[in-house]
Structure 1
Amino acid sequence: MNARWAYIQLQSMIVKRMLANTKRSQVIQQDVLRRKINLCADSRFGRDHGLSKVRNLVDFRRQVPISDFNYVRPYVDDLQRGDTQALFAPKTRLLMFAMSSGTTDKPKYIPVTDEFVRDYKRGWKIWGLKAHKDHIDLATKDYVHLAGDWQHDQTSSGAWCGSISGLAAETRPPIVRRPFIVPHQVGKIGEWTSRQYVTLRLSLPSRRVGMIITANPLTLISLAQLADQSKEVLLRDMRDGTITMPGGGENSLAPELKCRIRPVAKKRIGELEQIVERTGQLLPRDFWPELSVVGVWMGGSVGAFVPEVRKLYGDCAFRDHGLSASEGRMTIPMQDESNAGLLDFTSNFYEFIPIAEYGSENPTLLEAHELEEGESYYILLTNSGGLFRYDIHDVVQCVGFEGQTPLLTFLHKGVHFSNMTGEKLTEYQVATAVREAFTDSEQIMETVLIVPVMGSVPRYTLLVELDAEGKAARLAEAIDAKLSILNCEYDDRLKSRRLLPLVPRVVPSGSWKKLRERKLAERGGTQEQYKHTFLTSTEDVFNNLGISI
């Protein structure tokens, strides 16, 4: 403990410095912008956009348009073929490409440079240090981090493609790596259920897990469900010092993992058996009784699943993972039980467009210090991976300030919005209505999808996998009632019969798994990155699921 605690105390100066610098974040943002420009000025992209001539923000906005990934894709394609100077200065080192599906029809390959990784790690370090400051007991406990594989694929030039979380995990300093009891090699297991089983097999021997970290709450739900479903096999494997991979595959386990598969202490086996005997289940809330912190996304559509995670993981603090994507980390939550995060003003340069002006020819463009509390914005990102004024399609709300620096909550992806009759329905509203409807009915949260259907009188269809039509009908009525409270325009359209009430439609069991696999196959990305949306703006989902409208 002494060495780890001493390290935490020493590094905590980083947090203090960042909080102090919130008072001058406007100046720091200008310095960040200059660094990003210098990183790419002597490249083909830089010459095409006159980056060497940029002296201030006015120049920058004149020279570089607001863009999406398709705009920069030709440069990235050349980068994948080995032409580093397509996007970066000659001495820039490209480490990998972070793969992401996002909202495009083709996978995105986000360039990851040395500076990108430094930015990424600094944000996580601040997140972790602040969590340790608020939960001192973590200094003596174990951690479980569910990271991905940064070597999932390779480009034609040999560059690795995958998840940056895997690279960060693999390159942790030894003193930081020691408490993480699930080694980074687990992230390289391709089959999702097998990866989760190995995670359980290696972490269940410890009753002193104090923190578990992953982005998506659905990952935590499936991990807990697998633990319970596989409890007899897990207990046998721990007694015998073996591992029984779902569907076989034990022989393909990496040597670094095989050497960790050992019999577990009889005392711990006894504890786990008593849990099963007492409760009939094997769930994290019981087998990790000292869990202090769950680090996971709490906002947006997936935030609707957080109540179910709480039931499975017990009475512990939840700290938002932060607004982050393959393109970079954008916020750093600084306290428990809030999905608000401090803008990571030292890592990227940001611009914001008021939500009402998004898509207009000349929208108002704001710097971070110019935001207004209570207002919502689209965020533009300039990072260390060659993305400039990049529209990540995220809608955020400013909920306060620390000095000059805004505190932001993630609301929803901007593309998940529907407006057939002027109701302006957002995914955030739908996710909130769905969560409240399930909570009020004391049902376990289920995955659902609301789809607009045009007709002589438009309507929305609620797609559910519930096994009883009556239950689906009651759920549709409850969601409609919640939406009418959350959205006065929706309520007005229902009352004026310009919209029909929400119509339930039970889809076959396994439909969401089918949809997830289809999207991942089409767009790339990983299971962890996949976020099931609660609202779509088109009827395409019916064709994707093979059902009629």
Structure 2
Amino acid sequence: MPALGLVNKVMEMVMSKRIRQIENFIKHPIETQENILFSNLSTARNTEYGNLYGFNDVNSYESFKSNVPLVTYEQFEPFIDKARKGIPDVTWQGKIKWFAKSSGTTNAKSKFIPISEQSLEESHYAAGKMMFALYLNNHPETEIFKNKNLRLGGSSEIYQKYDTLFGDLSAILIDNLPFYAELRNTPNKQISLMSEWETKMKAIADAVIKEDIGCLTGVPSWMLVLLNYVLNQTGKTHLDEIWPDLEVFFHGGISFKPYEDNYRNLTQKKLNFYEIYNASEGFFGIQDQSHSKDLLLLLDNGIFYEFIPMEEFGSDNPKTITLENVEIGKNYAVVITTNGGLWRYIIGDTVKFTSLNPFRIVVSGRTKHYINAFGEELIIENAEEGLKRACDATGALIKEYSAAPIFMSGTEKGAHEWIIEFEKMPTDVNQFAEILDNSLQELNSDYEAKRYKNITLNQLKLNIARKDLFFDWMKLRGKLGGQNKVPRLANTREFIEPLLEMNHS
């Protein structure tokens, strides 16, 4: 048997468990989800949270809904704070050692998501194995298993707090990988966990240029910066001149659509793209078809799902439903209960179902206005506070504003672009822009990381709007009236482009 055939035959045997697991939850989705819910309840029944909300009395989904409240991060944070101090049995059995740090909280610069041993193994690592199993199933002649995977996370510094640890999810995953998995990844753990990005990028490039790379995994914006750097260092035009066996990019974290053309221009031969839907809270979905970007919802990795129809979202007592009652094409806010000790937790994402057999989804947006084109998770609360600081320092008053990303193009870096209509102009427009940019970095650790030494994002671009621009634009759209609001933050340029055009006409 040829070497490639032997390698893939071995991998088929190794991955067959994951394929059977996928086939089983596709065939029995409701039963699988019910088992996950009651397994999680059983594990946590004697915790502080379990005693507080009567986990021992829960015997159905209806009683689960009645006993256990829906929560946001801010509402759940007191329990997380206790667990971070090393107190065991707070929301999950035993002591939580790891906490994944990310942005997106209203009240603080960062939020900290508990990562239990079960969520590490049964959610994140198990889903990673499913990802490769599905790819092998779709591409039986793949060569990725005889080559290395170039992995790239965000900031990978690990911090000690009390006797627990926190850091980026990518750092936690890399730091806990078993040795046999580490052998197939590059760069090595020592380089991957470096914290200073410029030094790290050079070290990664030096380490991977002479490797045989078969696949890439990471966030599109960060990976694009690295790949352009590698091309620049080698003097090559295309990645396949460096890595002739490069075959696939597994990407997640942000929308891939603005980056797709950039990536297609990086290679002369066809590069496969597979999307994943993972977050600090868990690994939720994987693209399981080569011809479709829809994501197979993972139902057997320790996560129980509920969904709030968006017309209910924001009400005092929103209705929640399970997979049994979802509909194709409807927008839902996602609620999760996990084997990391999160209970009826509203993650802030919205999804639409594209298929009910099996259950496939697309990520349709967020429950709040946000910009997350580069993994920065800039939310409306960050923007409002940043603008307040800039106004206070420069004597400005703001009437209306909107902001959107400037996407990377070729080797050009991205940025955020703002258009602001002032009631009272700042004493110094450049100072206003600088204070706003610096304040956003202080308020949001992910924006700060992307802005670090302009590695991924340049300083924001500020446009001054003419008088009544936003009124005229809303009128043109037929959106005047109390229930219609100017979109403050958008993850695309669909709003800012017509505003800029009208501003200059």
Normalising by structure 1, we get a TM-score of: 0.67
Q: Are 2:345 and 1:345 equivalent residues in the alignment?
A: no
Match of 1:198 among 196, 203, 211: 203
- Distance, in Å, in 1 between the alignment partners of 2:175 and 2:440 is 28
Could you tell which deviates more after superposition, 125-134 or 145-154?
145-154
Q: Deviations over 1:410-461 (max 9, x none)?
A: 12222127xxxxxxxxx79xx8xxxxxxxxxxxxxxxx999999x9996756
How far has the Cα of 1:50 moved from its partner? 1.3
Matched AA of 1:99: K
Match of 1:105 among 84, 103, 107: 107
Residue 355 of structure 1 corresponds to which residue in structure 2?
A: 310
Q: Deviations over 1:470-513 (max 9, x none)?
A: xxxxxx9xxxxxxxxxxxxxxxxxxxxxxxxxxxx999999998
Q: Deviations over 1:274-308 (max 9, x none)?
A: xx3xxxx45524322321101113864x5322322
Distance change >3 Å, CA 319–CA 298, structure 1 → 2: farther
- Distance, in Å, in 1 between the alignment partners of 2:308 and 2:456 is 24
SS at structure 2 position matched to 1:339: strand
Match of 2:290 among 336, 359, 374: 336
Residue 41 of structure 1 corresponds to which residue in structure 2?
A: 45
- Distance, in Å, in 1 between the alignment partners of 2:379 and 2:84 is 36
Residue 284 of structure 1 corresponds to which residue in structure 2?
A: 239
Sequence identity of aligned pairs in percent? 19
Matches within 5 A, 1:63-102: 63-89=67-93, 92-102=94-104
Distance change >3 Å, CA 159–CA 362, structure 1 → 2: closer
Residue 218 of structure 1 corresponds to which residue in structure 2?
A: 221
- Distance, in Å, in 2 between the alignment partners of 1:332 and 1:521 is 27
How far has the Cα of 1:536 moved from its partner? 6.6
Q: Deviations over 1:105-142 (max 9, x none)?
A: 32211111111112211111101121133332222222
Residue 52 of structure 1 corresponds to which residue in structure 2?
A: 56
- Asked if the contact 1:351/1:367 (under 8 Å) is kept, the reply is yes
- Asked if the contact 1:331/1:343 (under 8 Å) is kept, the reply is yes
- Asked if the contact 1:99/1:525 (under 8 Å) is kept, the reply is no
- Asked if the contact 1:5/1:139 (under 8 Å) is kept, the reply is no
Matched AA of 2:365: H
Distance change >3 Å, CA 177–CA 462, structure 1 → 2: closer
Distance change >3 Å, CA 389–CA 525, structure 1 → 2: farther
- Asked if the contact 1:319/1:333 (under 8 Å) is kept, the reply is no
SS at structure 1 position matched to 2:199: helix
Q: Are 2:148 and 1:145 equivalent residues in the alignment?
A: no
- Asked if the contact 2:44/2:92 (under 8 Å) is kept, the reply is yes
SS at structure 1 position matched to 2:204: helix
Q: Are 2:492 and 1:537 equivalent residues in the alignment?
A: no
Q: Are 2:337 and 1:382 equivalent residues in the alignment?
A: yes
Matches within 5 A, 1:128-139: 128-135=132-139, 136-139=142-145
SS at structure 2 position matched to 1:18: helix
Distance change >3 Å, CA 335–CA 63, structure 1 → 2: same
SS at structure 1 position matched to 2:317: coil
How far has the Cα of 1:143 moved from its partner? 1.5
Distance change >3 Å, CA 354–CA 318, structure 1 → 2: farther
- Distance, in Å, in 2 between the alignment partners of 1:512 and 1:205 is 42
Residue 471 of structure 1 corresponds to which residue in structure 2?
A: none
Q: Deviations over 1:140-194 (max 9, x none)?
A: 22211114577610111x2111133333334444443322231122222111122
More helix by share: 1
How far has the Cα of 1:465 moved from its partner? 10
Count matched residues: 421
Q: Are 2:17 and 1:13 equivalent residues in the alignment?
A: yes
How far has the Cα of 1:369 moved from its partner? 3.3
- Asked if the contact 1:291/1:316 (under 8 Å) is kept, the reply is no
Match of 1:163 among 154, 168, 176: 168
Distance change >3 Å, CA 461–CA 126, structure 1 → 2: closer
- Distance, in Å, in 1 between the alignment partners of 2:213 and 2:173 is 21
How far has the Cα of 1:325 moved from its partner? 0.9
- Asked if the contact 2:7/2:146 (under 8 Å) is kept, the reply is no
Residue 304 of structure 1 corresponds to which residue in structure 2?
A: 258
Could you tell which deviates more after superposition, 191-200 or 2-11?
2-11
Unpaired runs of 5+ in structure 2?
388-396, 409-416, 418-428, 462-485, 491-505
How far has the Cα of 1:316 moved from its partner? 3.5
Q: Are 2:398 and 1:396 equivalent residues in the alignment?
A: no
Q: Are 2:360 and 1:407 equivalent residues in the alignment?
A: yes
Could you tell which deviates more after superposition, 353-362 or 333-342?
333-342
SS at structure 1 position matched to 2:266: helix
Unpaired runs of 5+ in structure 1?
232-271, 418-426, 432-447, 467-475, 477-504, 540-549
- Distance, in Å, in 2 between the alignment partners of 1:333 and 1:134 is 11
- Distance, in Å, in 2 between the alignment partners of 1:165 and 1:465 is 24
How far has the Cα of 1:204 moved from its partner? 0.4
Distance change >3 Å, CA 69–CA 449, structure 1 → 2: closer
Distance change >3 Å, CA 373–CA 514, structure 1 → 2: same
Cα root mean square deviation, aligned: 4.1
Q: Deviations over 1:47-77 (max 9, x none)?
A: 1111121111111111111101122211111
- Distance, in Å, in 1 between the alignment partners of 2:175 and 2:193 is 11
- Distance, in Å, in 1 between the alignment partners of 2:96 and 2:404 is 45
